[in-house]
Each structure stands twice: as structure tokens, then as C-alpha cells.
Structure 1
């Protein structure tokens, strides 16, 4: 996903689409309008409006994630091939809120002709990995990982082999495979493998190239002939969110109808679809009767509502904001659209949670984050704390330190507490290595605490993120 404010529909491209989990948690904020059972965004229990412009605006919110996913797919690599991410570089400005913890391996799967087989190689104990499968509507349907490889039967030792099937597939699952049934024929596979710094690059590259992906017929012909490799190159062709934002009303709604014909809405969407059908928005339709200016005005209003939406169920712990309801949305269409706009590819909370806090460094302000004894983030994998400037880029600094908590072991003090110094100036030798996180010398900044495979204490909110204290 790409540069702009977290508060609007950003200029999001495919590479950034998976790097903004933190922005999602920060921006799916505090107060929100309600949502009626038929998919409208009216307040509380107010009946949904039958005004065609209001219906079209709600249809835009409903369909925005699907259209954005489809445009993102077009700018990705060829269907059914991995595209492997290179190691992140702090100098990069094309991606905001860089994740310095994992490298991505992504593939757009077309499951309409036949299932695809994914094989994840054996990885050493302690290396986190996650294979996230999103349907065409941005819901995470499956999430095998190092914490839970989701093997349903048979040998539970790696490599792990998965049969990814589309809707309606009735074949038999070959021995040694675990079926992952997807509700839509278009699936976005986002693979993440833990990256442990510059000395680990070649190790991760080797693991990326051991990932295998092939149609079932090819796999059945000769499994040994299926190899990994360096992967394909992204197609490119523009920034998806910009391309969607530039669509006028008829263009957007025609695209929505066309993509719905290939990836139908869920059964629970039937009430909303009946309402949208009153102005001609149905799978496979062409918007030939609704006035073009009305559709464009509705699209403009809907984009503003998506940007302004704040989830009333979002968490705020000591100034840190995050959301435990993302990754699978049901009929919460406003939340689904807003997360797609600022964090396409958001994980399920059981896989990762990203509390984020905003602050101001004017006047050389110094800050401190203190974890009480035995109160470090409770995770099954690892955690990290990363600083970003006002534009959500990594903070340049002579020490070359951009995050703490993951690469350098944390050393508790004699009383068991762990302090992290957050300031621009080097604090000197009194602060142990791995305990200083540089921030800008002035202006706004933000911190994101990434919790990979968070434990129940995080998910049930028994563990609280400590307050970021301002010292001066």
C-alpha cells in the first residue's frame, strides 16, 4: 500500500497492500456510524434509505474491497505464480510502514479451472511463517502457520502440502494433502517468512524458493517435477487504490457487477444484494439505466464515508489503538471497506496484532516505554517495536536502528522491568543495545508494536500495552 494519510483512502499499491497492518489498527479508530442489517450505513436502527443515490453509495462501500482486490490482482504477477519480495530497505519511500520482520511471497490463485497445490518446506524451529489465504472480498479464509500448520490428517511433519480448492469442487483430496476450501475462485495467497536481519537474507531467499505451487493436474503427473524457484515479476501498471479512486460511478459499478459474476457475494449478503438490485446492481449486469451523474455522486460520497469511518469496537489501551475484529468481516461492510482502503491484506488477530500510538517529538522530547516484570508482550512467535515519521516512513538515523525487540535480545533490569528509550539523540552506554529506538528530532511520529502469534492474554485483553511516557 502507498503514501498518503492514514485518514483517507490512500494511494495504495500492491507492495504496500500487505505492509499496513499497523495503519489498519491505528485508523479503524473510535467512533462510527451504525450499520443496518441490509448493508446500509445508516445510524443505529434507522431504516435504510430507498433513495437511489443512497443505495448506490452503500453499494460502493459494499463492493469497494472486491473492486480494489481485482485491480490489485491485475497489477500483481501472473496467475498461479509466486512473486517473492526482496529484503526491505529503510531508504525505500514507495511503501509506508515497512515491516522489518518478515519477507513476503505472494500469489494470485485462479481456482476456477482446477485446484492449486501449495507445499511449504521444512523450516528450522523458531522461524515464524504464515500462509494467509484471502477470498476475493478480503476475508481471510485460511491461515496455516508455524504456530498452527492446520494439518487435518496424516503426517504432521513438514513439508506441509495443501490442496487449495475453489467453490463447488467435488474431487477427492490426494493422500498427504490438507484441503483448504476457498469461497471464491479468486484467492490471494500472502506468505510471510520471518526475516532476522541482513545475515539472514540468503536463508530466507532459499526458503522462498523452496515454496512450491502448481495446478493439481501438474502435481499429480509428477510431484517431483514441481519445483520452486525465484518466482515471477510483478506486472505493475499503476497504484490500485488510485486507479479505483479515479473511476467514475458507471465505471466502478460496471466493474463491480462484472467481478461479482466471477466471485459472487456470500449468502449472508442476500439482503444487501436485494436492495442494490433495485437500481440495477447485480452480478453480471451493465449499469445502463441509472443516471451516470447520480452514480458518480454516490461514489464520491461513499469514498468520503469510507475515509471517515471509525470502528466503535476498536481497542484503545493507554493510547495505543488496534482492532481485534479485522481479517474476516461477515456483513460489517463499512469496516471491511475501511480496512481494505488502508490495510489491504490485514491478518486475523490470532496471527498478528499491531497496536499503534501517535506522539509528537517537538523540542527534542524524550519518551520511555516500560514493561513491568514478566509483562513483555505475550506472543507465540516474537514481537517488535518500530518507529515511523509523520509520513509513516522509517526514521533515518546514524545508528541505523529502525526497530527493537526482535533482532537484538531484550535484557531485563535487576528488578525484572524492561525499559525502551524512545528519543532522537543517542542515549549513550547507559542504555543497553536493543533498548534505544530513535525517533525524529521534531514533529509527529508513531510507534507500532507488532505481536506475532499473540497469546490469549492479548486477544482477551487481559494483557495491556503500557503507556508511552513522555519524559521531557
Structure 2
């Protein structure tokens, strides 16, 4: 058993209160039982209830817990399978290879939900099971491109924990990085910087700022200059990846079992994962062996169904609550907040707030759901203070996709031509299905005739964002749709 005293400082800091939040009551800290005299651990696996009814109840409880834990990991697995495993998928590249998007995101964008329309995306899945991957980052300040071009080479582990090689952290001078797991031991090539990640399967979500469609063509050259070079091939039997097309409860747990076995889990979660061994997850007993018991199978199916209800009911509760807005304050760093983490199943790829401080709202100033089929709205405020860019982007509430509209306009940002500011410097943005008379085209955001959510992004957030000084204004109704 690993000592709990080996928890890193980053885990211990989970007890720190967020801005505006109540400090935690004082509690005695956790202890290391191995430091006690004569403390012993059990040698046998935990028991199972004797009756089928109670085994089903027991399996239901564990399955609900495991399904909540693994939701974001499973959603990322669906994406990994499509790009890295399924040779029949149109977006298949295999592992350690980029799929470059050559245009800004659009309605129906397939790679993931809630895409921004500020950057060009490149997706890759790293397979570090054989060894590290060498990453080449080109200089971003070149004579043919704008000086200070923002980029973020965002690495997300199998559970959605984010880290970055970016303009904000490393600057725009370019470089070579050896991406390796925390347990890798070897020699770093000359001129390369070692960059540690937690799991052997890692999603790379590269974002490079693009001003418009014409600028995107220039950015494509930068995308091609990023390279991924494996340093060693996978040694051993080929992994048996579960079919991501199986969206049943049992398929869900097959994928979660693979994720846990292939990637491991944080040391601080040993006891949590140990509890799931009895239902066949990540333990000495296989999932198929556990499923041979009809009571356990039924418990898993019921637990999964109830977990999906709990998750759906919790999505809008995530993050810091700021009047009618919510900030996904812990996106990319959710630690043990598994329910909040799994709420991101519908919006994978979230980065840490120090890179992108975001806000989202589902309601207007009256607390009513935002609905472009019923009302016209306005948002009046000073734009968020961000070093690299800010933007407002609406999405369909039902699926978090960009909203189709005849104007083909999906965003207002700091680069939108012709934006008109109020005399006091504030920006008034009108959200409606049809542009009202007298409203400048630049200041109008089409929201079609459907319920929607609005996201605010602040890339490279200023201190006023990080300390809670700047917060968004409520969205107000201008009047009903006529």
C-alpha cells in the first residue's frame, strides 16, 4: 500500500477555498497507517453479499459511483477511438499524428462540443506506452505572420486533467519537448525539454489564434510546422480496445475498465478504485467474470442509468456561481470533484482557468432559460480583461454545438470588425434570431429560434479575472420575438 503522505502538494491544495467561497472547517489531516506500529492490511478481497437482491443493490451503488467517476474519461475515449483506433472513421489518423482543421469551427463540428471560433484546432492522440514522444513547436513570431501569435499545445490526460505548452507559459520562441509519463526513466535528447504527463494515452488539442478565414490560411503553415515523433514503438501485445460504438451500460463499463487498466489512476485514488474490483473494474477479476452473475449485471445496468440521470441534473451546477453566470473555475483541474468533472462529457477539452478563464450562462437576468425563439436579449458590459483575446459564443443548449444561421456568424470577439462601443466604453451585444433595426451588424449575435447558452472566453486572463474583480453582467430581455 502506498503511503498517503506521498500526496503531492497539488493534491493537498484542493482544500483551498476559491474566491468568494466559504473556507472549509478545520479537520484533522489524513494519516499514513503504514507509519503506525503493527498496522496490517487485509490479504483477501472484500466480500460480496450472499443474496442476489443484495448483490444487485451493492453492485448498483458501486456502478453508480464508478460511472460518475469515469464519464469524462469515457467521452474522451470515444474521441480517441475515432481518431486513433477505428480505421473506418473519416477522421482516423492513428496515434501520434495530427488531424489539422483548416477552417474555424462551424455548426456540426465533429471533433468535440463547445468549440471556440477564435483558433484553428489540431487534434492528436499520443500513445506513450512504448516510450516518450518528441514534440517540435515552431517559433510563432515570424516575419510573415503577426508578432505575438497566441498558441496553446494543450495536453489532456485520460481523465481530462490539463497542462500546456503555450505562449503564456513558454513564450513564442519555439522549442523541442520530450513528452513522457511520470514513471519514464531514460535520457532526454540534447536540446529537448522534458515534459511529464500522468497517463500514457494523452489528447493533444492544439489551438492557434486565427483572426478570420483569410488568416486561417496563414495559420495552416504554423499547424504543419508542429511535429510529433515517437521515440520507441509499443513493445508487447497490441491493446484490445473496446468498441466505442457500444453505448450500452455494459459497453460504458468495458471502456472504463480499459481506461483504468491502460492508464492507471492517481495514487490518492487507490482505495476508491479498489472498491470497484468486486464488479470487475481494474482488479484481479475480469469484467466478464463479474457479469456472469446476473445480479451484478443488473446492478451495473441500473447504476449506470441512475448515474446518467444524476449527471444530467448536475451539469448546470458546475463551477463558481456568479449571479446568473457560472465559471467552470476548476475546468482541467477537477481533482476529486468527479461529478463536476463528468459534467464535462458534453464539453470535452476544457483548459485550466489560468489559460482560459471562461463563463457560461443558461439564463437571463430574470432567471428564465435563454431562448432565441421567445425573446431578443442584450448584454452590456466592458469586455473581459484578457491578454490574448476575448470572445462571446452562443451554443444550442441541447447539444452545445454552434448555432446555424443565415449570416454564418457564430462569435463576437476582440477582432470583430466594426464593433461599436457605448460612450462609457461598454460594449452592447444584441442576441436574437433576426437582427433588430438600428443594431449594428457587428454588435449582433444570431441565436436562431431555439434555447441556447452563451459562453465568454478570456484567453490569458488578467488579474481582475483571476481574483474575481471582473465578473460578467446579466443578460437582459429586450422584448418578445414578434
Work out whether residues 103 and 216 of structure 2, in 8 Å CA contact, stay in contact via their aligned partners in 1.
yes
Q: Distance in 2 between matches of 1:396 and 1:184?
A: 37
Give the C-alpha shift of residue 214 in structure 1. Answer: 0.4
Identify the residue that residue 176 of structure 1 maps to in structure 2: 191
Q: Which has the higher contact order (CA 8 A, sep 6+)?
A: 1
Matches within 5 A, 1:383-394: 383-389=390-396, 391=398, 392-394=400-402
Cα RMSD over matched residues? Answer: 3.0
C-alpha distance 117-471 of structure 1, shift in aligned 2 (>3 A): same
Q: Tell me if structure 2 keeps the 8 A contact 1:139–1:328.
A: yes
Q: Match for residue 407 of structure 1?
A: 415
- Partner SS, residue 71 of structure 2: helix
1:143 aligns with one of 164, 167, 174: 164
Shift of 1:50: 8.5
Asked if 1 retains the 8 angstrom alpha-carbon contact of 2:387 and 2:459, the reply is yes
Kindly report which structure 2 residues correspond to 1:121-270, keeping only aligned pairs within 5 A, or say none: 121-124=138-141, 125-140=147-162, 142-149=163-170, 158-216=173-231, 240=244, 243=245, 245-248=247-250, 251-270=251-270
Match for residue 342 of structure 1?
Answer: 346
Partner of 1:3: none
**Cα 1:73–1:96, aligned 2, differ >3 Å: closer, same or farther?**
closer
**In structure 2, distance between residues paired with 1:426 and 1:65:** 37
Which structure has the larger Rg?
2
Q: Is the 8 A contact 1:67 1:244 kept in 2?
A: no
User: Structure 1 residue 390: deviation in Å?
Assistant: 5.2
Match of 2:377 among 354, 367, 381: 367
Deviations 1:113-155 (A, max 9, x none): 1211111111232322111111122211x21211222xxxxxx
Match of 1:377 in 2: 384
Task: Work out whether residues 120 and 160 of structure 1, in 8 Å CA contact, stay in contact via their aligned partners in 2.
Answer: yes
Counterpart check, 1:438 vs 2:446:
yes
User: Tell me, which stretches of 5 or more residues in structure 1 are unaligned?
Assistant: 1-36, 38-48, 150-155, 219-236
Distance 1:238 1:169 in 2: 26
Aligned residues: 389
Please give the per-residue CA displacement for 1:344-370, whole angstroms capped at 9, x wherever unaligned.
22111112133223313345x432221
1:354 is matched with 358
For the 8 Å contact 2:140–2:172, the answer to whether it is kept is no
CA distance in 2, matches of 1:388, 1:255: 29
Cα offsets for 1:26-68 (capped at 9, x unmatched): xxxxxxxxxxx9xxxxxxxxxxx98232122212222333344
CA gap of 1:206–1:396, structure 2 versus 1, over 3 A, is: same
CA contact (8 A) 2:242 2:255 kept: no
Call closer, same or farther: CA 1:312–1:443 in 2, change over 3 Å.
Answer: closer
1:198-243 deviation line (CA, Å, top 9, x unaligned): 111211111111111102369xxxxxxxxxxxxxxxxxx9995xx3
The equivalent residue for 1:75 is 82
- Aligned partner of 1:31 in structure 2 is none
Q: Deviations over 1:407-466 (max 9, x none)?
A: 3254433332322233344345x54552222333x4433322222122232222211101
Q: Is this contact kept in 2: 1:165–1:180, CA < 8 A?
A: yes
In the TM superposition, 1:43-54 aligns within 5 A as: 51-54=58-61
Q: Secondary structure at the match of 2:167?
A: coil
- TM-score, normalising length: structure 1: 0.74
